[in-house]
Every structure is written in structure tokens, then in C-alpha cells.
Amino acid sequence: MTLAELRRAHAELIRRAEASANQLVEGLTEADVTRITAEHDALVAEAEGLQRQITAAEAAERANPTPANPANPQQAAAAAVAAERARAASIRDIGTRSGMPAVDIQAAIDNGDTVEAVRTRAFDTLSQRSAPIASVRGGDLDETETRRAGMSEAIAFRMSQRAQDRVAVIAAPTERARPWAQMGIVEMAAEAIGHRGHLRTADQVDGVMRRAFLSTSDFPGIFGTAMNSRLLARYAAATPAYRLFCARYDAVDFRAMPIIRAGDFPTLQAVPQTGVIPAGSFSESKESLSVTPYGVTFNLSRAMFVNDNLGAIEQILGSAGTRVTDWENVQAFTSLTASSNLGPALLTDTYHVFDSTHHANYDSSGTAISVT
């Protein structure tokens, strides 16, 4: 293949790779995502192989330039113009793909820099951008885990700054989150999938977000961790009434588990002259509890991410915290007032929680509560 043919084939592979990435849309199965990702990676690998051939062909062309025909000055001038256009196009392509500033790309063209020299600078630019941002000490998280945790903390920090009710606002980003604290959602998604270069068009931004959420990247987990952090902070800040009289128990699974509750501490008794301290006793009660899972899904629009609208997402999470605690309140009081306001029956004595005869804590006449 000639150098021109290699360049055309390389451009076609790049076009097919971008088209393959654009196939990652919502609603795909995991198998389809895996297949499309594998096809995309194969096209990129083939394009990289062609790029190496192009580099070798350009080097050979420089080492053995085709002599111009002095008898045909118009042909020589046309060849020179074509060569200059090819040089400028190659420099512009390399610079754009590596994320070099547009000013540097134009300067390289104007100064007559060779394609090989620009390619070397572009490689240096990519290497610097790929360098670890956070230093990792022995025993700490590795670089990947540090980046994931830092991005999640940065998103949680930025979301808290947009909380209109100022609930659970984070005063400052953590040391680990600082490198990403000023980044937008799209920028973090691009870094999470390894995207290089500037995002100039809406199609590029949309493609990055699709790949970030529909491929095997870390970004869904990164954003999910940030949302869970904000949900937990808002949930902890709520003060539903049932927490004033309910105790918390932790379960390891969904099976019924026994709960042993010791009675009140024994009343102190006088010590006789013999010095023998009287033995006290306390009662026990045995009940049972089990965990029932509840949940709900909700969708965040693509526009929220593309527009970096963390304020709207934080508002949704804010109402979720209030709605969940209100729901818990309803569940607690519904259980407490079951069986015609007598409450559930206890396993310890088989009587309801509220029982006028055995527990002396219920009066159906509606009289005021007394000490008795």
C-alpha cells in the first residue's frame, strides 16, 4: 500500500471505531455492550498498527525523497504544494487527537516543523496527562482506587454546594478530591473512560456520556457512590419521630431472628449487718424480627449530566431523604397501632403491646394519661 492508501485506510478505521462507540446506547444488554466494546477495541488496535506503518513510510520517504523533475517546474511546484498540504493535515490531525492547544498546532505548521517532531511532542503531551494526579503512599489505596474515591468525593462535594436547603453541606473538598473538585461531570466521565482530547461538539459529549454509563467503565460506580454518600448524609440529618422511642437492630440476612431484651436494672436493697448484699433479678423478654427489603428506582435524564446540573440532582436526593424518613414514620406508627390500635401481639406473653389488664398501658375510655 502506498502512503496515501495507508492514510485513507487509517482514516476509515478511525471512522468505523467512532461509529462503533456510537452504538453504545441505552437499553443494550450486557452481552451487546461487551460485543460492541470488543469490536471497538479491535478497530482501535488495527488503526494503531496502520499508524505505525504510516510512520515508517513517512520516515522512508524522508530518507529517499523523490527527485523533482527540473524540466517540468509546474509539476515540481504542484508536488511541493501537495507535500505541504499533507504535512499540515498530518500535524493538525495528530495535534487535535492528542489534545494539543490550537495555538501550538498552528505554530508547528507555520514554523515548518516535521510530522515526526510534532508526533513526539504529542506523545509527551499524552504522557504528561496520563501521569498519576494523586500520590499514593505505601499501604494506601492503589492509583485506580484513589481516582475512583477522589472522583466520588469531588462529585459529592460539588453536589453539596448546590443544596438549596444547606443540609449536610460539605465545607471543603478532601485532599483526595481536590484534583477533580473543579471538573464538570462530562470531564470526569471522559477521564474515567480514558478519553483524550478536547470535547468540541455536542456529539462528542454525548458519545462520552454514553460510553461512560453503558460500557464497562468505572464511572457508574463513581457517580453511584457519590449519590449514596449524599443520600446517607441527608438521611442521617433527618429526625423522624419514631426514632425517639424505637431501638435499632442489625440483621445479617432476611430470616427471622430472635431478640432478647433484658428487663430493668434491679432496685437497690438495704445491706444487712452481715454484709451480704441481697441478690436482685430482672426479667427478660424474647421477641422476633425480620428484615423486609423495600426500594424504588428513578431516572436521571442525560441532559442533567451533559449540562452538569448537579443542583437538580441534589434537589431530587433532598426530597428522597425526606420522603424515606416520612415513609419509615408511617411504617413504625402503622405497626404500633395495628389490631385496632392495640399494637402487635408479643411473643413473650402473647398479649398486645397495649393491654389494659396485663400491661396496664391502655384505657379505651379516652381519659387522660396518669401515673398508674
Which three three-digit cell numbers place residue 366? 379516652
144 and 102 Cβ atoms separated by less than 8 Å: no
DSSP helix/strand/coil, 245? coil
Under the banding of pLDDT at 50, 70 and 90, the label for residue 330 is very high
Overall average pLDDT of the 39-60 stretch? 76
The answer to whether the CB of 84 falls within 8 A of the CB of 113 is no
Q: Is 108 inside any structural domain? A: yes
What type of residue is 329?
Answer: N
Residue 275 lies in a domain: no
Q: Is residue 361 part of a domain?
A: no
Q: Are residues 18 and 106 in the same domain?
A: yes
Does one domain contain both 99 and 184?
A: no
Whether residue 157 is found in the same domain as residue 254: yes
Q: Are 124 and 184 contained in the same domain?
A: no
User: Do 83 and 120 lie in a common domain?
Assistant: yes
Q: 252 to each of 76, 306, 328, how far by Cα in Å? A: 82, 40, 20
Return the C-alpha cell found at 310: 448537579
Residue 48 in any domain: the answer is yes
Instruction: Give me the number of domains the chain comprises.
Output: 2
> In this structure, are 93 and 174 located in the same domain?
no
Closest by CA to 226, choosing from 156, 283, 166, is 156
Is the whole model's pTM more than 0.75, yes or no?
Answer: no
Q: Which amino acid is at 148?
A: R
Q: What's the pLDDT tens digit per position in 125-153?
A: 554 443 333 333 444 457 778 888 899 99
List residues bridging with 270 in a β-sheet: none
Tens-digit pLDDT profile for residues 18-31: 777 777 766 677 77
- Are residue 84 and residue 172 in the same domain, yes or no? no
Determine the Cα–Cα distance for residues 29 and 20; give it in Å rounded to an integer.
16
| Mean pLDDT (the chain, rounded) | 79
Q: Across the strands, what pairs with 352?
A: 345
Co-location of 46 and 191 in the same domain: no
Strand residues in the chain grouped as ranges (E): 257-262, 284-289
227 in a structural domain: yes
Eight-class DSSP state of 98: H
pLDDT digits (tens, 9 = 90+) for 89-137: 878 777 776 667 777 888 888 888 887 777 767 655 554 443 333 333 4
Domain of residue 25 covers 3-63+76-130
The 10 Å CB-count burial string (b at 16+, else e) for 121-153 is bbeebbeeeeeeebeeeeeeeeeeebbbbbbbb
| 177 and 320 belong to one structural domain | yes
DSSP per-residue string spanning 293-346:
---------HHHHHTT-HHHHHHHHHHHHHHHHHHHHHHHHHHHTHHHHT-PBP
The answer to whether residues 188 and 326 belong to one domain is: yes
109 occurs within a structural domain? yes
In a domain, 305, yes or no: no
138, amino acid identity: G
Question: What mean pLDDT comes out for the span 188-210?
Answer: 83
Regarding whether 125 and 182 lie in a shared domain, the answer is: no
The answer on 100 and 186 residing in a single domain is no
In the structure grid, which three cell numbers stand for residue 183, read together?
471538573
Question: Does some domain include residue 39?
Answer: yes
- Report how far apart, in Å, the C-alpha atoms of 225 and of each of 150, 215, 218 are: 11, 18, 11
The candidate with the shortest Cα–Cα distance to 42, out of 13, 69, 63, is 13
Answer with the residue of higher pLDDT: 133 or 186: 186
Max CA separation in the chain (angstroms):
134
